[in-house]
């Protein structure tokens, strides 16, 4: 008879393996201990680490403390005060609940707990020695609990060996410490690395904590978010486009004050930024979701960083709409400042911390700047200018292209008020000037605005194209002499594929045999004599976008169309043409970037000019 090779592991070995799920590195210890302190109703929490937590991690609080009996039980596996029955897992309100943290720490480190309740005259000290034995003593300690974890992984040298450098482990600890501090601004936090105090965060509001953790002027770079509803509340901050980075790390999501990672909600925020993001860009956001605990499940992984929702689709749509709405309430035109860097010399850079007020869109070229000869354009003027900007663009607004279920009417009223109603100071002597047939310069209230004419027209035409494809009411200019074209098989197949979309935009094309087509009508944006050339450029751009960027069909067509029919750098514009272009740009839903993510407008403040010329 063969000898059995399967054996039950001894408890001391099994406990060390299980501990690895909860205590993966020093940061795990810090996170679990701080969460215990918060659950214990602490108002002051102090964290001390030595040698990046490998030698010592100590977390002390002024919470409710533990009795002697509870202190002894606390280091037993699955000992917890947070839940009593399986039903409690259906609505978890505390940060900790598994009862695994302290027992896991005791399995892989030397653990010491000093605790005393407000009712007791003497507190309790519990510690484990190198043999895993529990030693209990009585003494007088500070009210609350102080837990020290020494020589982490001393009895599992393989795990200790694979810890990263002290700098890396300390960074993970600080990241976790800051996330918890942000989520509980009502608690005071202090952090010591050896004997040096690194952070001291005093209790206050969320705004106070953001300034403490990031920078004193951080709020100037952020847009507030606050949208309560019966199902859930969303509040916090999102970053202006000037805060976009090429690396992850500045995305903070909290569910009922617990830091979590959720790809779906991250995607909702990214989508809300529309094409403000270029490939590889990551926005800053710090968002709090408050949902009934019965409608979520945080018991997914021992790290408690994941959560499941019972209605993820509606939560996704709600977050998407809230972030879009918040972005729409602020003027996002980037402000440029002169930077004096030693290595590269003085240069213009974006001012990341440019303060803007909610619903203030007055710092733009206004109609009051243009009251020289006429107050309105004649039909002949409009037909002549670009042969492209028509009523369907004029009527385009952010609510048409980006519907919000709870959009506030006053936002749009402020954005599209006549200039004199917005009280634009200092624009009586405004001017418009075309620089090198590429850029339009205009005086605004704060200084100077610079507009890239090509990408501005792209944005207008992009939204116009989307509206036309959605409305399915094509407007076509009939050609007096239809254009016959012989195509190669590849281009002919592409035109067959996108024929319905081309038709919605205003192209009237007949497909003939042997790869021939006849163009009988074109959209009003296409200049006379360029019909065949523009159509082929659109087909080429569409094919490249499909192959390289893998864009959705309608979006691809709108971007290809706008790119190839927009006015180009080098095209001379009259003053009326520039006026109309600016007016229609700021009537779009996203006048700050073109469909491909390039900036359309920037501004330089008068104060910056004064500083540059030594007038301050």
Tokens of 476: 């076509």
Contact 147, 59 (CB under 8 A): yes
Q: Give the confidence band of 393 by pLDDT, cuts at 50, 70, 90.
A: very low
**Choice among 124-128, 267-271, 416-420, 492-496 with the minimum mean pLDDT:** 416-420
pLDDT at 395: 45
Please determine, for residue 177, whether its predicted confidence score (pLDDT) is greater than 70.
Answer: yes
Q: 495-525: per-residue pLDDT in tens?
A: 999 999 999 999 999 999 999 999 999 999 9
Q: How many CB atoms neighbour CB 282 within 10 A?
A: 20
The residues spanned by each domain of the chain are: 11-204, 214-328, 333-616
pLDDT of 463 reads 94
Task: For the chain, give the percent of residues with pLDDT over 70.
Answer: 80
Kindly report which listed range (140-144, 277-281, 319-323, 480-484) carries the lowest average pLDDT score: 277-281
CB atoms within 10 A of CB 137: 11
- pLDDT recorded at residue 396: 43
Say which range, 17-31, 229-243, 581-595, has the weakest mean pLDDT.
17-31
**If we measure between CA atoms, which residue out of 177, 206, 214 comes closest to residue 59?**
177
Give the long-range contacts of residues 230-235, CB within 8 A, separation 24 or more. 231/291, 231/311, 231/314, 231/318, 232/289, 232/290, 232/291, 232/315, 232/318, 233/288, 233/289, 233/290, 234/287, 234/288, 234/289, 234/290, 234/318, 234/319, 234/322, 235/287, 235/288, 235/290
Tell me which residue has tokens 């400042």: 337
**pLDDT beyond 70 at 20:** no
* Greater model confidence, 550 or 278: 550
Q: How far apart are CA 219 and CA 244, in angstroms?
A: 15
Residue 463 to residue 402: CA distance in whole angstroms: 11
Q: How far apart are CA 89 and CA 86, in angstroms?
A: 6
The full length of the chain comes to 616
According to the per-residue pLDDT averaged within each range, which of 54-63, 237-246, 332-341, 344-353 is highest?
Answer: 54-63
Q: What is the mean pLDDT of the chain?
A: 83
The neighbouring-strand residues paired with 511 are: 517
Q: Looking at the predicted structure, is the pLDDT value of residue 428 above 50?
A: no
Distances (CA, A) of 603 to 211, 323, 332, 575: 26, 24, 11, 20
Q: From CA 593, how far away is CA 576, in angstroms rounded?
A: 23
**How far apart are the C-alpha atoms of 570 and 453, rounded to whole Å?**
10
- pLDDT average, residue stretch 379-395: 51
**Per-residue pLDDT averaged across 347-370, rounded?**
76
Residue (of 104, 111, 114, 45) closest to 80 by Cα position: 104
Contact 445, 603 (CB under 8 A): no
Query: How much is the pLDDT for 422?
Result: 45
Q: Give me the residue label for tokens 């005259």.
A: 121
Distance CA 308, CA 320 (A): 18
* pLDDT at 410 (0 to 100): 46
Give the pLDDT of residue 76.
Answer: 81
Q: The tokens of 351 are what?
A: 């001012």
The answer to whether residue 382 scores a pLDDT higher than 60 is: no
Question: Considering only the top CATH level, what class is 11-204?
Answer: alpha beta
Q: What is the pTM of this model?
A: 0.77
CB 512, CB 487: distance < 8 Å: no
Which string of b and e fits 211-225 if b means at least 16 CB within 10 Å? ebbbeeebbebbbeb
**Is the pLDDT at 225 greater than 80, yes or no?**
yes
The pLDDT of residue 189 is 98
Q: Does residue 272 contact residue 241 with C-beta atoms inside 8 Å?
A: no
Determine how β-strand 251-255 pairs with β-strand 285-291.
Answer: parallel
Cα 511 from chain centroid (whole Å): 46
C-alpha 214 chain-centroid distance: 16
pLDDT in tens, 526-577: 999 999 999 999 999 999 998 888 888 999 999 999 999 999 989 999 999 9
Q: Name the E strands within 62-154.
A: 110-116, 123-128, 134-139, 144-150
The 10s digit of each residue's pLDDT in 438-488 is 999 999 998 999 999 999 999 999 999 999 999 888 789 999 999 999 999
Task: Find the mean pLDDT for residues 299-316.
Answer: 80
Query: What is the rounded average pLDDT of the residues 268-280?
Result: 83
Compute the distance between CA of residue 34 and CA of residue 57 in angstroms, rounded to an integer: 11
Q: Topology of domain 214-328, per CATH?
A: Ribosomal Protein S5; domain 2 (3.30.230)
Distance of CA 472 to the CA centre of its chain: 33
Would you give the DSSP letter of residue 9?
P
Phi, psi of 317 (to 5 degrees): -65, -35
Instruction: Give the pLDDT confidence score for residue 116 in this predicted structure.
Output: 94
Q: Strands of 601-605's sheet, edge to edge?
A: 345-350, 335-341, 601-605, 447-452, 439-443, 432-435
Query: Does residue 299 have a pLDDT over 90?
Result: no
Residue 54 scores a pLDDT above 90: yes
If you average pLDDT over residues 167-195, what whole number do you get? 96
Tell me phi and psi for residue 609, to 5 degrees.
-60, -45
- Residue 355 binned pLDDT confidence (cut-offs 50, 70, 90): confident
């Amino acid at each position: 008879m063969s000898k059995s090779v399967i054996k039950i592991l001894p408890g001391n070995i099994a406990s060390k393996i299980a501990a690895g799920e909860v205590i993966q590195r020093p940061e795990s210890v810090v996170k679990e201990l701080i969460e215990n302190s918060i659950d214990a109703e602490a108002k002051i929490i102090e964290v001390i680490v030595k040698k990046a937590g490998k030698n010592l991690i100590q977390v002390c609080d002024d919470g409710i403390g533990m009795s002697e009996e509870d202190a002894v039980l606390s280091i037993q596996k699955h000992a917890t005060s947070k839940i009593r029955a399986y039903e409690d897992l259906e609505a978890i309100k505390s940060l900790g609940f598994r009862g695994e943290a302290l027992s896991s720490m005791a399995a892989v480190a030397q653990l010491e707990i000093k605790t005393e309740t407000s009712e007791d005259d003497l507190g309790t000290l519990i510690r484990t020695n190198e043999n895993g034995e529990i030693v209990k003593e009585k003494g007088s300690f500070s009210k609350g609990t102080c837990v020290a974890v020494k020589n982490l992984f001393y009895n599992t040298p393989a795990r200790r060996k694979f810890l990263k450098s002290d700098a890396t482990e300390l960074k993970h600890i600080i990241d976790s410490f800051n996330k918890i501090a942000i989520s509980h601004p009502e608690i005071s936090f202090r952090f010591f690395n050896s004997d040096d105090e690194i952070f001291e965060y005093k209790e206050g509001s969320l705004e106070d904590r953001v300034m403490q953790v990031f920078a004193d002027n951080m709020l100037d770079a952020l847009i507030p978010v606050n949208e309560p509803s019966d199902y859930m509340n969303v509040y916090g901050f999102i970053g202006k486009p000037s805060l976009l980075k090429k690396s992850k790390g500045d995305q903070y999501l909290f569910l009922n004050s617990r830091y979590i990672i959720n790809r779906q909600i991250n995607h909702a925020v990214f989508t809300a930024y529309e094409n403000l993001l270029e490939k590889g860009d990551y926005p800053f956001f710090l968002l709090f979701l408050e949902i009934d605990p019965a409608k979520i499940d945080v018991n997914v992984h021992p790290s408690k960083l994941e959560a499941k929702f019972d209605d993820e689709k509606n939560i996704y749509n709600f977050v998407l709409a809230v972030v879009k709405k918040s972005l729409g309430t602020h003027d996002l035109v980037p402000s440029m400042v002169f930077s004096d860097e030693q290595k590269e010399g003085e240069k213009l850079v974006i001012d990341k911390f440019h303060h803007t007020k909610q619903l203030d869109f007055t710092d733009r070229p206004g109609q009051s700047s243009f009251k020289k000869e006429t107050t309105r354009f004649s039909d002949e003027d409009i037909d002549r200018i670009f042969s492209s900007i028509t009523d369907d663009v004029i009527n385009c607004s952010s609510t048409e292209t980006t519907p919000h279920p709870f959009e506030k009417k006053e936002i749009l009223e402020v954005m599209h008020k006549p200039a004199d109603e917005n009280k634009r100071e200092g624009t009586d002597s405004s001017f418009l000037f075309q620089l090198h047939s590429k850029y339009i310069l205009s005086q605004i209230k704060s200084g100077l605005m610079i507009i890239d004419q090509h990408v501005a027209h792209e944005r207008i035409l992009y939204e116009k194209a989307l509206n036309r494809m959605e409305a399915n009411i094509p407007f076509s200019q009939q050609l007096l002499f239809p254009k016959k074209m012989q195509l190669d098989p590849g281009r002919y197949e592409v035109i067959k594929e996108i024929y319905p979309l081309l038709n919605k935009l205003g192209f009237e094309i007949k497909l003939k045999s042997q790869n021939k087509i006849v163009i009988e009508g074109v959209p009003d944006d296409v200049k006379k004599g360029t019909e065949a050339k523009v159509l082929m450029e659109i087909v080429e751009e569409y094919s490249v976008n499909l192959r390289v960027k893998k864009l959705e069909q309608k979006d691809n067509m709108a971007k290809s169309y706008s790119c190839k029919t927009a006015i180009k750098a080098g095209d001379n514009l009259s003053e009326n043409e520039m006026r109309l272009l600016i007016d229609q740009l700021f009537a779009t839903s996203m006048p700050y970037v073109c469909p491909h993510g390039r900036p359309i407008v920037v501004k330089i403040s008068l104060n910056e000019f004064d500083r540059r010329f030594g007038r301050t």
